[in-house]
Structures are given as structure tokens and as C-alpha cells.
Amino acid sequence: MDNTTISVNPDLSNDLNINIGTPAPAPAAAPAAAPQNAPQQPQQKQPSIYGEIPQIPVMDAVEGIKFDFNDGIRILFPHNGKEYHVTFSDIDTGIILYSADTVPGAYVTSVKKFYIKFRLIIHEKGGKEPIFTHDYDCTGKEVMIQLPVGTLGDSIGWFSYVERFQKKHNCKVICVMTPWIADVVKEQYPDITFITTEETKNYRPYACYYMGLFFRGDVDHQPIDFRYIGLHRTAGYILGVDPADIPPRVNLSAPRQIKEKYVCIAAQSSSQAKYWNNPFGWINVVKFLKENGYRVLCIDKESVHGTGLNWNFIPYGAEDFTGDIPLQERINLIKDADFFVGLSSGLSWLAWCCKVPVVMISGFTHPTNEFETPYRVINYHTCHSCWNDMRLDFDHFDFLWCPRHKGTDRHFECTKLISAEQVITTIKKIPTFRGKEEEAK
């Protein structure tokens, strides 16, 4: 543990920390800190990716005691000279998570920060009858759910679970979301309030939960490591709702813009491991599509992306529809395409919302990491799925991250050895594919 908290019960050190003084702030950033017994690696510090929560618990118990469920259960005892006995348990499992005496001014908080249906019981020290009991119930109350930073795929993947929480508990959900992403969903979800991280300081919610990918074995902010269950489903586990795949609703009402048959592609991403690193892959797929009468529209934000000496360009032969434009305009284009071809990146998740077939080319993630698509392309004859390997941790600051083969001739072989032929074969399986043979019939 760090130097701001001390364990008050060694047998329950995984379930409770106690801090004498000011309550700890919300988690600063993902990835989470490494466990104590793990080798310590030098890391660059990430800026905070979440908004604020009230420093002092917002609910009144008795005798000046305050509590809430912002970042786990939090109980703050007053400096009134009295000692108490505090117990909290998980109602759903019937397990007591902590039961101990306190000292004046104690601040008690659970280590586990994901959704738990807590029961809080407070006694005077030595007393037989409780002086306060509270069962978690957010019905009709404000619950803040924070989606960090502005990553498109993560936000889209997690958002449907926000609504599921709101419907399950009939609560007033405040969703902290990057505005340019919120703009494409908020009209479809009138029962949810959307705010920015800067606006969080204006709210005093009953509970707050943080969506994120927490690395290095962190099971305090997520009940199970996300690498087991997939990038989007982890939100379902954090919020205690059904983790099944459901794409968020977006506005698909715009009229068709292009009369010819066309497909949308996206070739850029945030890390080289996500790219299709076969040097002839996109060239041959674009050629195949054009030979079959398709316009091929590249809709990436950038036509060129990379770092240092490593740069990726718009696929040869594709029409340049790149640019920093509103997401709704991207949706208006994707929704009428015969299908979409992309990577394990944000625009593939956006195409999922548009209800078009998605051909996803990815080797560094296992298929369980993303939404279900029958048109997933992966080569199991090569090294693959390092992102979901529990023995490895992603380096956010290494654009050329390849944990098993970096610097060797096998660097990025997971996608170098995905051939254009494999992708073309997958495209031909799509019912909406209209090749020369089909149109000649």
C-alpha cells in the first residue's frame, strides 16, 4: 500500500483501507499501480483521466458521521471524541467485508471500487444495538459513471452498460463523457445526463463508478482482469450488469449520400500493433473491391499517422474521405455502405453501431476482446493475442509495442501474416457483398 493508507486488519487488507485525515481523491489514471510483489518498472506518469468527486462523503448518517458510495463505500467519522464500531458487507454474497472499531476522525473506505451492493452498520463502541444501518439503494438517486479521456472505441464499447445500469436501478445517471463522442448518443438517451470532466465538481452523487482498463493485475477497480473478458464487457462486470454485446444507439436517419455501391475502410490506429502490417494487404484488397465495382472510401481522421521513422499512409487506390469531422458525419457515411473493413480501433466500433457488417482485421487481440462479428480476420498460425495475455502488460508509450518479438524479424508477424487473400475470402462471405459474378446473374 502507499504511504497515505494503513491496513487496520491484516486478514482483510484486500477489502479495506483506513486513512486518518482527508479522504483520498478519485483514481488518477489507468493503468493502475503494479502490485507490491511485482517487479517495479519505470513508467511515464499519465495525467488524470477522470473528473472530480466530492472530497467529503455526501450522505449524513448519525452524530456527524458521513458516508456515500463514491469510489467504493466511504465513511468519515467526526472528531467528536467518540469511538465507533463499523461493519460493511456485500448484500448479494452475504459476506462481511470489514468489521472493526474506529478512532475519532477515522476515514474508512473499501479497496474494491466496482459496483457492490453494500450494507453499512454502525455501532457505538461496545454497544449491542446499531445506531445506524443503511443498505445501498440508488433508486431515484444520482449516480455518476465516468468514461475516461476521448478514446472512441472504448467509449462506444462501454456506453451501453451505462444505460443498463440506469434501467436496472431506476436511478439518475450522470455520464461523464468526452463531448464529441457524447454528441452522437445523447439524443438517443434522454434519461441520461451527459457532462464533461470539468463539470463533475458541480455534482454530489450518491455513488460513482469509473470505467477503464486497469492493468497489472488490478482487481480493485474491476472484479476480473479485462483481458479475460474483453475490452467492452469489462464495463458490465464493473457495473454489475449483463455483459452481453449491445451496440449503443445512434442516429441513422440521414438520407443516403452516395448513389453508387461503396464500402468504407479505416486503416489508421493509435498503436502500430493494431495496424494491418502486411505491406501488400490494403493495396490488394482495395484493388479487389474496385475491380468488383465498389467505390472504396477511407474515412480515417488522418491520412498519415505514425511516429519517428514509422509512418502509415492512406491505402493506395482508396478515395480520401479522411479528416477531423464530426462523428455524426462519419455515421451518415458508414450506415449506407455495403460493409466496413477496419482494425481493432474506434471506427470499427462506430461501424458496429451503424448496423453494417464489420470485417475486423486484428492479430494482437483475441476475438473475445471485441464485439462479436462473423467477419473477424485472424491468423492462428502466427504469434497472436498478446494484448489478452495475462503475462504481458501493454506499454501506452511505445508506439511499436510488440512484447514477444520486438526488434526481430517476427516483429508484428500477427498481422504481417494476415494475407490479402484471407481478407478477400472473408469479404466474399458477407451477404451484402455484390461482386461481378453476383451482379451478372
What's the mean per-residue pLDDT of the chain? 89
pLDDT digits (tens, 9 = 90+) for 383-421: 999 999 999 999 989 999 999 999 999 999 999 999 999
pLDDT digits (tens, 9 = 90+) for 250-300: 999 999 999 999 999 999 999 999 999 999 999 999 999 999 999 999 999
Long-range CB pairs of 172-177 (<8 Å, 24+ gap) are 172/140, 172/141, 172/142, 172/143, 173/143, 173/144, 173/145, 174/142, 174/143, 174/144, 174/145, 174/203, 174/205, 175/144, 175/145, 175/147, 176/50, 176/51, 176/144, 176/145, 176/146, 176/147, 176/200, 177/147
Q: Which fold has domain 262-440?
A: Rossmann fold (3.40.50)
Q: For residue 410, give the 3-state DSSP assignment.
A: coil
| Active-site residue (options: 15, 68, 71, 154) | 154
Give the relative orientation of helices 281-291 and 420-427 as an angle to the nearest 10 degrees. 40
Q: Full-prediction pTM beyond 0.95? A: no
Q: How confident is the model at residue 10 (pLDDT cuts 50, 70, 90)?
A: very low
Has residue 180 got a pLDDT over 90? yes
Helical residues (DSSP H) of 264-318, grouped into ranges: 281-291
Domain 10-31+45-135 has CATH 2.60.40: yes
* Contact (CB, 8 A) for 267 and 277: no
**Cα 194 to Cα 174: distance, rounded to the nearest angstrom:** 6
β-strand 66-70 against 59-60: which pairing, if any?
A: antiparallel
Give the single-character DSSP code of 331. Answer: H
Has residue 19 got a pLDDT over 80? no
Query: Catalytic annotation on 242?
Result: no
What is the pLDDT, as a whole number, of residue 439?
A: 66
Helix/strand/coil percentages in the chain, nearest 5: 20, 20, 55
What is the pLDDT, as a whole number, of residue 92?
A: 97
